[in-house]
Every structure is written in structure tokens, then in C-alpha cells.
Structure 1
């Protein structure tokens, strides 16, 4: 397998040579094989490990295992720990989605911190098959059937052409050790059900199933490329771009026998999902619109117009000179020094006074605003993503204010405090900030 792997890298990822690579290593079979393969080759590597704290001591055992292995083999190692369940509960996301978001957010952060070039994960052919079947069971288009991409921006998946069986054989031949994830034995998750029950049947029916599946995916990818090319050619006939807006000529669009398929190809990248509403928009009266998180599609006579979701905001800023100031406009906010912390709420926060730089500023949020949500261990998040997670309407977004110190968000008022200003054991002066209703 090592020779095949080396040839695979030379053929499909020659640009990795001479680059600094970050390997995502959980301690499981797949990632330990990936790490071992790269140890045999001439690459500059560093290991990343995420501890999601979802399996108690077992999670910390994984972390210790990877840490000891990298120390023994003198491989640079960086790890992080997430309170995944708290994050999932806070943002009303599934545990799996939460773990994925936290993982990749941290990966990209490390890419910059470590001044590295690419992140490599250990996804393999069986993972790809599982993803295909999951998407198929839920209903999907070509995008969902073409599987996991071998490269997605800075993320590289060099094991995608290798099966789980090949990986297991390599591990056995090289006497590798790894950690077993106990959650993989449970049928609680759909992926595990497919892995344990459906895929063995498919392989029993056709011993060459993995090879056949690889061919099928190759054909689907070729079909997708044809569809993409057709969408580009028709787009040039139907669409006109003016500034930040795109105008679709309905007279030209309606000449197409399957115009809805083209609309899907063109609009999905903008985050639109209400497809039935979009198809109905074609025959609706002028002024009707469909919203995506950051864009709107509006019917205007003989056109459909895509434009950024413009929120008309009052950009005035209101300075707050000192804590003796009681703000009465645009919000009623009080500031007071206290000795103890009371139970917090959306309308009250407690901050370390010495971390603040006056004058504070009260202003509306802007696109691009970023803060570090309290309780998330210093992880950055766009304010717009906070709104999206909270399912705020356009009107609610327009009514939201930020309290800032030296251009840093202290409080998304009425929603979330920033981690950087929290009270800790070294705090000497506690400032209570509250909205007075």
C-alpha cells in the first residue's frame, strides 16, 4: 500500500511536496495509518488532535495515546478540547454537526497559526460509500451522489481511493496500534447502521462492489461536469450581472424546457433552499421575494433579481464615556460596580472592568463583525452566524446593537457576552451592565 500511496500522491497531489502539512489524527485506525504512511515519506508534518469530550475518559485516552505516539516519534503535536455538548445545546445543533463545525473551524485556525499549507484527513473509500448512501436515503441531487471531494480548498483526503480492508491490512502488516471508538459499535447513528448492516450485504452480493462503486462515482462526476458546463453556457444567455446584482431574463428563462433545474444550479450557491417558492416566483406578481441567509431573490416584472440582503441601518455610534453614564438612548442601559455576580440573563452581563477601554461605543452590527462567544473557550464567531443560529428575522437583526470596547465586541446586546471580558480569579473590579426595560 505504501508504494500505491506514494504513486497516488505523485499523480494527484504533486503540489504537496515541499509543503507544511497538518494531519488530523484521532487515534483511530484510519488516521494512524495515514500518519504512519507519511512518516515513511519525505514530508514536513504536524499532527492535530481534537478532543470533543463526548466519551468521558475514553476521549482523554485518545488524546493521551496520540500525544505519546507523536512524542515518541518526535512529531510536532497540537491538540484542543471542546465542550461539544454545551455548544450543541447552546446553538440547537446535533452533536455530529457541532463536532464537524468545531473541528473544521479549528483546523483552518491552525492552518494560519502554524503557517501551514494543507490539512489532511483520513477519509477513505468506505467513508465515501457511506456518505453516498446517507445522501441517497435522504434524497439528493448530483452533488450529494458524487461523494466526498478529494480536495476542498485546503483540505486534502489522500486515502479516498483506498478501502477499509486495504487500510486494515496495512495496519496489520506494520503492526500498528490504534484506539477503538466505542461509539462506532452503536447503531444510534445512521452512518453506523449503514456501515454495520447495509454495506456488508452489498459486498456479499458483489465481491467487487467497491470497484464498481468507484466507477459509478467517476461516471457521476463526469455527468456533473457536463451539467456544470451546460449551466455556465445557458447562464451567459439568460443572466446579466450589474454590480452586486444578477438579473435573470424571464423571457429567455421560460424558453428552457427545464428552467427549474438551471435555477437550482445557479441559486444554490447563494444559500437558497425554498425551491418550490422560487419556482412559483417565476409566475408571481412583481415585488414577491424569497430570502436566503444573505441574499434575496425578487420578482421584478420580466426579471428575477438576486441581490445581497441589504439591511438599512442607522450607522450612528453612541460613545459611553464612563461607568457613571446611564445611557437612555438608543437603549436604556445602566452601569454599576458590584462585589458579587448574580445569575446572568440575556439582559444582564458582568465584565472585568479593567479589560474595558473607554469610551465604549454602542452601535448597530455590521457585516464582518466577529466576537468570541462566552463559554466557547475563545473560539471566534461571526455575529451574522449568531443571528443565523438564532433564526433572527431581518427586522430582529436590524434592531440588534453591539456594545464595543476598542473595536472589540463586549456584548451582542440582549444575546451573548464576549469571552474576552468575562470575570476570572484575577478580576479586581466587577462591572454590571444591564438593559433596563
Structure 2
């Protein structure tokens, strides 16, 4: 008999789904996924069958596809199939064939799930798969999340066979005369997982015959440990991560107090895609000169006086933007600047506005980033000052210097450091007849 009750009990214990949900089953044709299909059919849940043909095993792959298609038809179930040029995808993305197959199938499963209205995607991984995953992660190097391997439920992926090991599945399939197809590549040691399965796990089972059960218990503990860590890291983030319009500020004093320091800083920064090696560099540089930069694929971290500042990458360079008399609004980096020309001579004290003597403007004006050597005469002063010195005097954070819009006249003179200070040469006087009002609108 099929272990229907154990299957239902596991689903309820792990809260994988409710009976009203619609489940998409990933079925390769092997004994694991075929057993999962029969168990789902036995409990009467609304299901569909999805099969991937990776075109890696020629006739055998076509045999698998035909078998699963016929099985779905005989059971009266919706059937979805796709074909991948896996080797081409792997070459183009410079990844292994196994990683390519993984990316392709998960992306396609999600596409079908959305298109056809399924609530979850069911995968037929079992306890031995979990053991192998943990061993692979440990061999390659892993954080806490790698220690729990594969979980019964993660987001919209569910694994309802994790209550069984490979030996139990073999016995259930045999005693119930369940037809399946065998993937010949499972016997090859060319793949890392197969090496672990065929050459490593048997030796570990000699030491501990209940290896799968032991790993299942350990995986459960590690999963709980990760949950606890995530809760504590979130509390820490709420306390020391200060979100501002220009970035996220973490006081260096708070970083120095972290204990364990490397683990907690990594957990705080991994959201921004900083790797462990970069976190080590940051910790080694806490007393470095202000301005030291560190990079992830999406963000940069900057030591700025008393803070570690996290900002998105590629926001610091903006090409020159030209402003004509007819320009009303112009985007610059993440902000916007508007221009209004008026005959009404007026002025107000507002750092986000510049009231400029329009008769002195030579169009087109240029809106650009700060450059080395830039000088201007701050409003109310007579002598030129380097913009870099002005930034220092005003304690402008390093990451803001490169994204602060600089308004430049057609003759090359700076008219306004947007949001900060206007140039004295372009102030309004009693002789002014026309005013150009520039306003920085921070999004």
C-alpha cells in the first residue's frame, strides 16, 4: 500500500499547502517523482504534471518525456512539457550543465505556475537528497542556511517526500508495482552529487546506519537556528541601520560592538549582496581613512567619517544634461530640477531653490557631476572657493559629493551647487529684470 497517511501527516505537520490549493508537480519519470505523483493522486488534490526535456541524453530523454506524457494522460491530468538547449545555455552563462538545468527548470516551473494558476510547485526530493545537499554545501563552504540543506517548504516550492529515504522509496515502488524510467546518468560519477551519493554516503552509513534520520534531525535544528538568527539580525537591523534618502547609515561604533562581529555584519550586509570576503575587508578597514570603498554586484559601502554608508552602485555618474530656456523639468540621477523664468523679481531663503539673474545666463546651461578643480564664489562671499573644500566644510558625505548636481553656465562658471549654495556672481540685484528660478525636487 502507498503511505498515504504518512504523506498527509507530513503535509499537515509542515503546513505545505491546504486541500483547496492547486499544485504543479515536477515529474521526471524516475521513481521518486512518479511515487509523488501517485501519492498526490491518492489524496485527491488538484494537480498538474510538468516535465522538462533537457536534451542531454538523446533517445533516453525522449523516452522519459513520452513516459510522463502517457502517465499524465492515463491519470487524466494536465501535462506541460518544454525542451531546453541546456549545453548552449551553460556555455553562454559560463556555468556547469547541472546549474544550467537547475536554472532553466525552476524558471520554467514558475512560468507555468503563474500562467496556469497553480499555488505551489512540488519537487520529489527525499531525505537522501537532503543529506547529499548538506555534504556538498559543507565541501564547498557554506553559511548556516547551507547546513539545513533543502527544506520541506521555501516560498512556493514544496518537497512532500522529505519524510522518506531512498531505501523506503525503492521498497514502496517495488511492492506497489509502480512503473518508472531509470536515468542512466544516475550511475555516473562525473557529477558531484553522484560522487557524494555513490562514493561518500555508503561509508558514512557504515558509521551510522541511521544516517538519513540523523541528518533529518540535524537539518531541523539548523533550520530553527537560522530562524532564530534571522529574528535577532532583524532586531539588530532595526536598531542600527539608519535609512536616509541618500543611503543606509551604520555607525562604525555599532559595527565595532558586534559580537560575533563577522557573522552579524555579514548577515546585515548580505541583503545588499556583499560576500564574506568583502565583509572581512570592511572589518579590517574600520580605522581606514574616510572614503574607503567596498563593492558588491549591486551596492557600494563607504567608510564616511563615523559611519559605514550603503548606497546603490552606478548612481554616482550622470552624463551632462543640457538646459535650454524652454526646459521645464530635467532628471538628474535620482532627482529632478525645474526651471521657471519670470519677470517678477523675488527671492526666498530655500537651499533647494536658486534665484538667478537670468540676464547673466548663457544657454544652454549644463547640469553635471562635480569635477576635480571646480571652483565657485559662495553666495555672500567675494573670493573663489574650491567645491571640494566647500563639501568638506559642509561635511557633505563622500557618496553624496558625486551625485550632487552642479549647474554650470555656458561660459563655464558654476551657477549653483544644487540643494546647497548659489554662486554670488548670479545673485539678484536692484538691476535685475528677469529671474530664473531653479528648484531641486528630491524624489
- Common fold: TM-score over 0.5: yes
Residue number in structure 2 paired with 1:163: 165
Residue number in structure 2 paired with 1:385: none
Q: C-alpha separation between the residues in 2 aligned to 1:54 and 1:167?
A: 26
- Structure 2, unmatched stretches of 5+, are 322-443
Q: C-alpha separation between the residues in 1 aligned to 2:245 and 2:17?
A: 36
Shift of 1:313: 5.0
Residue number in structure 2 paired with 1:124: 126
Residue number in structure 2 paired with 1:289: 293
SS of 1:228's partner is helix
Shift of 1:300: 1.0
Q: Is the 8 A contact 2:55 2:84 kept in 1?
A: yes
Once the two structures are superposed, residues 107-134 of structure 1 have per-residue CA deviations (whole angstroms, 9 ceiling, x without a partner) of: 1111111111111110111100000001
Q: Is the 8 A contact 1:130 1:194 kept in 2?
A: yes
Q: Structure 1 residues 229-238 or 32-41, which shifts more?
A: 229-238
SS of 1:40's partner is helix
Q: C-alpha separation between the residues in 1 aligned to 2:189 and 2:10?
A: 34
Q: Structure 1 residues 292-301 or 222-231, which shifts more?
A: 222-231
Change (3 A) 1:243 1:166: farther
Change (3 A) 1:90 1:256: closer
Q: What pairs up with 1:385-400 in 2 under 5 angstroms?
A: none
Q: C-alpha separation between the residues in 2 aligned to 1:67 and 1:176?
A: 16
SS of 2:257's partner is coil
Residue number in structure 2 paired with 1:206: 208
Residue number in structure 1 paired with 2:154: 152
Change (3 A) 1:266 1:173: same
Q: How many residue pairs align between the two structures?
A: 316
Q: What pairs up with 1:202-351 in 2 under 5 angstroms?
A: 202-243=204-245, 245-273=247-275, 274-311=278-315, 312=317
Shift of 1:223: 2.4
Shift of 1:315: 10
Q: C-alpha separation between the residues in 1 aligned to 2:246 and 2:181?
A: 50
Change (3 A) 1:26 1:246: same
SS of 1:23's partner is strand
Residue number in structure 2 paired with 1:96: 98
Q: Is the 8 A contact 1:23 1:35 kept in 2?
A: yes
Shift of 1:297: 1.4
Shift of 1:76: 0.7
Change (3 A) 1:225 1:10: closer
Which structure has the larger Rg over C-alpha atoms?
2
Change (3 A) 1:61 1:314: farther
Once the two structures are superposed, residues 173-216 of structure 1 have per-residue CA deviations (whole angstroms, 9 ceiling, x without a partner) of: 21111111111101111111110121112222222222222222
Change (3 A) 1:289 1:156: same
Once the two structures are superposed, residues 329-359 of structure 1 have per-residue CA deviations (whole angstroms, 9 ceiling, x without a partner) of: xxxxxxxxxxxxxxxxxxxxxxxxxxxxxxx
Q: Structure 1 residues 160-169 or 125-134, which shifts more?
A: 160-169
Q: Is the 8 A contact 1:62 1:179 kept in 2?
A: yes
Shift of 1:314: 5.3
Q: Is the 8 A contact 2:16 2:152 kept in 1?
A: no
Q: C-alpha separation between the residues in 2 aligned to 1:14 and 1:31?
A: 17
Are residues 1:188 and 2:193 paired?
no
Q: C-alpha separation between the residues in 2 aligned to 1:46 and 1:17?
A: 14
Q: C-alpha separation between the residues in 1 aligned to 2:235 and 2:34?
A: 45
SS of 1:22's partner is strand
Change (3 A) 1:188 1:251: same
Shift of 1:9: 1.5
Once the two structures are superposed, residues 17-71 of structure 1 have per-residue CA deviations (whole angstroms, 9 ceiling, x without a partner) of: 1111100001111100110101111111100001010111111111111011111
- Structure 1, unmatched stretches of 5+, are 317-437
Q: C-alpha separation between the residues in 1 aligned to 2:320 and 2:97?
A: 38
Task: Please give the root-mean-square deviation of Cα atoms over the aligned residues, in Å.
Answer: 1.8
Once the two structures are superposed, residues 209-252 of structure 1 have per-residue CA deviations (whole angstroms, 9 ceiling, x without a partner) of: 22222222222223223322332233333221224732111112
Once the two structures are superposed, residues 368-411 of structure 1 have per-residue CA deviations (whole angstroms, 9 ceiling, x without a partner) of: xxxxxxxxxxxxxxxxxxxxxxxxxxxxxxxxxxxxxxxxxxxx
Q: Is the 8 A contact 1:281 1:289 kept in 2?
A: no
TM-score between both structures, scaled by the size of structure 2: 0.68
Shift of 1:14: 6.0
Moved over 6 A (4+): none
Residue number in structure 1 paired with 2:332: none
Are residues 1:20 and 2:22 paired?
yes
Are residues 1:55 and 2:57 paired?
yes
TM-score between both structures, scaled by the size of structure 1: 0.69
Change (3 A) 1:71 1:298: same
